[in-house]
Structure 1
């Protein structure tokens, strides 16, 4: 099976022309974040790679270096720590950053009241607070320079509450609503905002969330589908699977969507 690619070469040129020299990618060590970094390197961006594991980031930077004319920058940060998020802004202050891809995040599963409260609050910190902090910091920079792009990772579960992933779905509802509200606010300043809402993805996410995901989209499919729609839509369901799931759910009332997805999640978590 051939890997998907950014639609013609002019697509890479469009991204560079629209957003500038550097892109900040959080969660770059794995999954969707890594796939986005790979695609942006191929498009000629300088990459600022952000995650917690320095060794993994440095290995990725070495892999990306031959693909991009600009040496990647590595920033080790724990996004649950506000000072680390501020440090990302400080360490990129002298770079021509025009694109933020906030791909860092994680999930939990199972009944909310049986879960570890510290883990649930940490997820809110990473998925919501840090994302809002980064979006505010870079959104101000992009608005001042009158161009830029912001990609926020939403999810299929962002559009209704879902049992057994109640808190995770709530964090993604926050992301989805934030993107939808910010898009018209920042558009007059030349800043594009996109919410990317994939379905199940075959990455390390499922293992950390204690879910068994037997089939799903690849991170690269999500990365390509997302980047192709940046500047063209406010929300994208990247890839065939996400679009098929959307089509199967869109005509149902919210309560029925929630019930159907709860059954899906029960199967994933019981088998994990």
Structure 2
């Protein structure tokens, strides 16, 4: 059955540029799920990666039914390096041209009061697994002469953030990696984008024990990021992310740390 081409602006050109397939991590919920829906709408075949196999299977069925694309499921816990390697191996025979590394989670509260294993696991998911998959797919994209990579940064990536110190540090890693890879890979036909949203109304806040009462939708983030891919190094998708960055930018770095600490204190008050 022929692919259903997108009813979404420039998305068919996106598929032509990077296609035919995309891999999306964190696809069972939130931002990753929104990316998967937009890419299916564009006609990409999809490989969906997350821990929850049932949720992935339901999403793959929905996308196949509505968009006549091929949707495959790889259930994996990306905090486990061996499972990340399994994902890389399982996708070796697919012509993947777009990597959306949306898997990740946060913690909140004073670092010394947190559970160390949870903090280390977050580093494994947000940084180690992201580096493993980015390394694998960047090599494949260079060999095929084209590709796109979206790495999920955050507004918190640009300064230290009290009460989310380790989470902010993981996002600073993602931001810096994306900036460096953008410069390294562009001559090989590979576009790299750091997407740095502000607060997002998704399941992230609940898992991170943060009260997020206003913010962007996951779809805002997906749409803004896909629009910026190949055009920019970093995007702050959505009005709120841009407004918050505008407010923080004039402050010296210690001032941004202080301001973000006050914001985070309000979001994590028990």
Q: Does 2:232 align with 1:238? A: no
- Could you tell me how far apart the structure 1 residues matched to 2:21 and 2:134 are? 16
- Could you tell me how far apart the structure 1 residues matched to 2:12 and 2:29 are? 26
Contact 2:63/2:69 (<8 A) preserved: no
Q: Secondary structure at the match of 1:74?
A: strand
Question: Mind listing any 5+ residue stretches in structure 2 that lack a counterpart?
Answer: 1-5
- Could you tell me how far apart the structure 1 residues matched to 2:85 and 2:115 are? 27
Q: Secondary structure at the match of 1:104?
A: coil
Contact 1:202/1:219 (<8 A) preserved: yes
Distance of aligned partners of 1:9 and 1:58 in 2 relative to their CA distance in 1, 3 Å threshold: closer
Cα RMSD for the two superposed structures: 1.1
1:79 shift after superposition = 0.4
- Could you tell me how far apart the structure 2 residues matched to 1:10 and 1:210 are? 36
Q: Does 2:64 align with 1:43? A: no
Q: Secondary structure at the match of 1:212?
A: coil
Question: Mind listing any 5+ residue stretches in structure 1 that lack a counterpart?
Answer: 1-6
Greater than 4 Å deviation, 4+ residue runs: 7-10
- Could you tell me how far apart the structure 2 residues matched to 1:82 and 1:260 are? 36
1:69 shift after superposition = 3.0
1:8 shift after superposition = 7.8
In structure 2, the residue matched to 1:3 is none
In structure 2, the residue matched to 1:148 is 147
- Could you tell me how far apart the structure 1 residues matched to 2:65 and 2:255 are? 49
- Could you tell me how far apart the structure 2 residues matched to 1:267 and 1:10 are? 38
In structure 2, the residue matched to 1:105 is 104
Q: How does 1:136-215 map to 2 (within 5 A)?
A: 136-215=135-214
In structure 2, the residue matched to 1:17 is 16
Distance of aligned partners of 1:51 and 1:8 in 2 relative to their CA distance in 1, 3 Å threshold: closer
In structure 2, the residue matched to 1:134 is 133
- Could you tell me how far apart the structure 2 residues matched to 1:255 and 1:8 are? 45
Q: Secondary structure at the match of 1:162?
A: coil
Contact 1:46/1:68 (<8 A) preserved: no
In structure 1, the residue matched to 2:77 is 78
Report the TM-score, using the length of structure 2 for normalisation.
0.96
Q: Secondary structure at the match of 1:17?
A: helix
Report the TM-score, using the length of structure 1 for normalisation.
0.95
Contact 2:7/2:41 (<8 A) preserved: no
Q: Secondary structure at the match of 2:237?
A: coil
User: Can you list the C-alpha shifts for 1:84-125, whole angstroms capped at 9, x where unaligned?
Assistant: 111111111111100000000000000001100000000000
